[in-house]
Each structure stands twice: as C-alpha cells, then as structure tokens.
C-alpha cells in the first residue's frame, strides 16, 4: 500500500507535528506500507523526502536533505496522488492513502481534508466538517450544548467588538461569567497556544489582547477546578472509547510547554477518579464524538471537579498528539492495542470510510 505521511505544516504546532510523525514513522509496518514521507515547511512548501528517517523528521533536519523533491498534491482525481517535480520533469505517484499528521491550522481545520476529498484519496481521521467544527471551539460549544453534555460556561468575544469597545467586551465577559479566575482561549488554536489564565480584570484585558493576535474569535471560560482527564476514541460508525487517563501537570495549568517540554508532568492510566466517573467520561466522549460527526480517531478532554466529582467537557482534538509520550497511543496501549496495530486500524478505518 502506497501511503503518504504528511507532517510539519504551516501552524504554530509545526514542530509537534514532526515529533508525532517521527513516532508514526518508527511504528508503521514497512512490510505493509510503501511510505512516502512528505514534509510541509512553515512557509507552506511541500517536499517528498525519500531519505527521511524518524530521527531527521523529529529534529527538523529533513528540511536540509539534499534529495528532497518539490511535491504537489493536486485535487485532480485522475492523478490520485502526488506530482513530484524532479529536474523540471513531472512524475506522478498514485497513492492508496494519506496519513495527515498535521496539528493546528492547515491540518485539523478541514482544509487538508477538503483537498484529499477533492483528490479522492482515502485519509486517516475526521472529515471536513468534523475537523472544522472541532477546531473552532465556539462551534464545538454549540454542538456539545445540543448533545446535552455539561461544559464550562463561556462568553464568545469577537475581534470586531473588541477593537471598537475593548472595555465593554472585558466588562461583559466578566459579568457573564460572574467570578475570577477565568481562562482566555483563541477559538482555533490547539495545544494550549495563546491560552491565558486571568485572575482579575487587568489580566483578562491582557489575555484578550494577546488572544486576538492569534484569532478573530476568543472564548472566555469559567475556571473548572478539577482533574484534567482524557479519553481516546477510535472508529467510524461504531466507535470505541478507551479507559480514561489523567494529566498531573506540574505547571499552573496544562500549557504548551507542559504538554511537550516539561517531563515532570505525569500521566496516570487509569485516571485517579472513580469507576463511575470513568464510565461517565467514556460515554460522554462517545456522545461528543458523534455530535461533532467524527470518524477515525479523536481525543476528548474533560475535567472532573474536585468539589463534587462532576464531569465537564473541555475540548476535542481531531488529530491528537502521537509522540512517544502522548496520551492517545498510551491509552490504547493500555487497552491492548499497541502502537503498530493502532496505526493499522486507523488506516483500515480510512479505507473503510472511503469505500463506504
């Protein structure tokens, strides 16, 4: 099977994509797949990297490979794959599938999914609408409300309003939520990029100012005092939910650095919550997955409150981290689905969805 692995990308999570892709490249069964590593620079150039290894993808050295070939992925279904531009001549490679390992903008927002749909190529993960809806946290909120799943109270702030009347937006957000602290989150950034905790009006103003540098829409959310827990979901029409894992971040909250750079953050599988709470998280994860129209895979994140053990939805990641320390593969490893088998299942689900 000719499988392209797409990594890098134009988002702020470019480097994390490379870490995830390196782990996937290490664990794909080379006897089953003819792998085409395709790196996308932060400027948006595509390269087929025939000599790419997990190590040089991980450390970013793939961009300096002398044999990398400029590549295109046209929406033309007659091509059904890559066009490689070697020495002024175009060579086509028909692909059987694509594994997009692209976090954030250009990877999880429905854009790469739309291109692959047009090209008619099976791909791992959620479709266009589910990707776009889970990337935009304000849309996720509306769909999760409709599914009847408890989530943090929130206020949606718009850049247009903030530029016209910042003081009014700050005051309305504080009034709507009722108390501090609150969290400020750009609607379409992942991996905690741009997220700030605000303990008062001044910090709320600063958080909004910074968040609007990244997005036109910003959520201000109530602070949920609880365990941060995550559930991995796998499947198309009959998905399965893993047990629940817990993150014990040593930083004030689970920041970008805590996720990827702070090795003192601990993961507990199963989470330190009751069996009943684990089951509630699992069932709610499946409800959110269905409400957003997900397929293939997603990681669904919740809080379990310290005060009364209430399960509160946080967010869904349609292309979760796949690094060696990432929760998604670890949760299914605990369930007995080890990394190489997990990758096989994801690719099979992509083919199943494509062929109906």
Q: What is the pLDDT of residue 184?
A: 96
pLDDT in the model for residue 325: 85
Two structure tokens written together for 121 = 């190529």
| DSSP state string for 62-126 | GGG-TT-EEEE--S-TTT-EEEEEETTEEEEEE-SEEEE---STTTTSSHHHHHHHHHT--BSS-
CA dihedral of 331, 36, 100, 186, whole degrees rounded to 10: 110
What's the CA gap between 313 and 146, in Å, rounded? 13
User: With contact defined as beta carbons under 8 Å apart, do 186 and 157 qualify?
Assistant: no
- Three-state SS string across 114-136, please? HHHHHHCCCECCCCHHHHHHHHC
Say whether the peptide bond before residue 295 is cis (omega within 30 degrees of 0).
no
CATH match of 2-123 with 3.30.499.10:
no
Do 204 and 198 contact (CB within 8 A), yes or no?
yes
**Based on C-alpha coordinates, what's the Rg of the chain?**
21
Concatenating the DSSP letter of every residue in 176-226 gives HH-SS-EEEEETT--TTTT-EEESSHHHHHHHHHHHTTT-SEEEEEE---E
Quote the DSSP letter at residue 61: G
Nearest to 298 by CA among 324, 339, 328: 328
CATH 3.40.50.20 boundaries in the chain: 2-123
Consecutive H or E run containing 298: strand 296-305
Euclidean distance between the first and final Cα of the chain, in Å? 19
Q: Give the pLDDT of residue 141.
A: 96
Q: Per residue in 32-47, is it b (16+ CB within 10 Å) or e — as a string?
A: ebebbbbbbeeeeebb
Cα dist from 49 to 38, 58, 71, 74, 190, whole Å: 6, 13, 9, 18, 27
- 133-150+224-355: CATH number: 3.30.470.20
The reported pLDDT for the residue numbered 168 is: 97
Considering the chain, tell me which residue range(s) the CATH 3.30.1490.20 domain(s) occupy: 154-222
Low-confidence ranges of the chain (pLDDT < 70): 190-191, 249-264, 356
Fold of 154-222: Dna Ligase; domain 1 (3.30.1490)
Q: In whole angstroms, give the CA distance from residue 106 to residue 131.
A: 10
What is the sign, positive or negative, of the torsion defined by CA atoms of 201, 207, 209, 211?
A: negative
């Amino acid at each position: 099977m000719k499988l392209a692995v797409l990594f890098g990308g134009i988002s702020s999570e470019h480097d994390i994509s490379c870490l995830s892709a390196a782990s996937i490249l290490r664990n794909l069964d080379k006897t089953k797949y003819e792998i085409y590593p395709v790196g996308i620079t932060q400027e948006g150039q595509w390269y087929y990297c025939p000599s790419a290894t997990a190590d040089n993808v991980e450390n970013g050295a793939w961009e300096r490979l002398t044999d990398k070939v400029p590549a295109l992925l046209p929406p033309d279904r007659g091509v059904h794959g890559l066009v490689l531009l070697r020495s002024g001549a175009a060579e086509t490679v028909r692909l059987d599938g694509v594994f997009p390992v692209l976090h954030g903008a250009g990877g999880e927002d429905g854009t790469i999914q739309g291109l692959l749909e047009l090209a008619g190529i099976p791909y791992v993960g959620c479709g266009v609408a589910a990707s776009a809806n889970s990337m935009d946290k304000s849309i996720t909120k509306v769909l999760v409300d409709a599914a009847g799943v408890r989530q943090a109270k929130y206020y949606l702030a718009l850049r247009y309003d903030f530029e016209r009347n910042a003081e009014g937006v700050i005051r309305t957000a504080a009034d709507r939520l009722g108390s501090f602290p609150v969290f400020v989150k750009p609607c379409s950034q992942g991996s905690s990029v741009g997220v700030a905790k605000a303990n008062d009006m001044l910090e709320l103003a600063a958080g909004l100012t910074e968040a609007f540098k990244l997005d036109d829409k910003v959520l201000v959310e109530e602070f949920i005092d609880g365990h941060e827990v995550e559930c991995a979901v796998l499947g198309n029409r009959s998905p399965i939910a893993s047990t629940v894992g817990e993150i014990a971040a040593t930083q004030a909250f689970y920041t970008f650095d805590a996720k990827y750079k702070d090795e003192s953050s601990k993961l507990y599988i199963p989470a330190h919550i009751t069996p009943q709470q684990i089951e509630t998280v699992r069932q709610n994860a499946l409800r959110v997955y269905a409400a957003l129209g997900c397929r293939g895979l997603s990681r669904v994140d919740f809080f379990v409150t310290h005060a009364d053990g209430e399960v509160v939805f946080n967010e869904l990641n349609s292309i979760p981290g796949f690094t060696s320390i990432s929760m998604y593969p670890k949760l299914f490893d605990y369930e007995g689905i080890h990394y190489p088998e997990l990758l096989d299942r994801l690719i099979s689900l992509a083919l199943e969805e494509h062929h109906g």
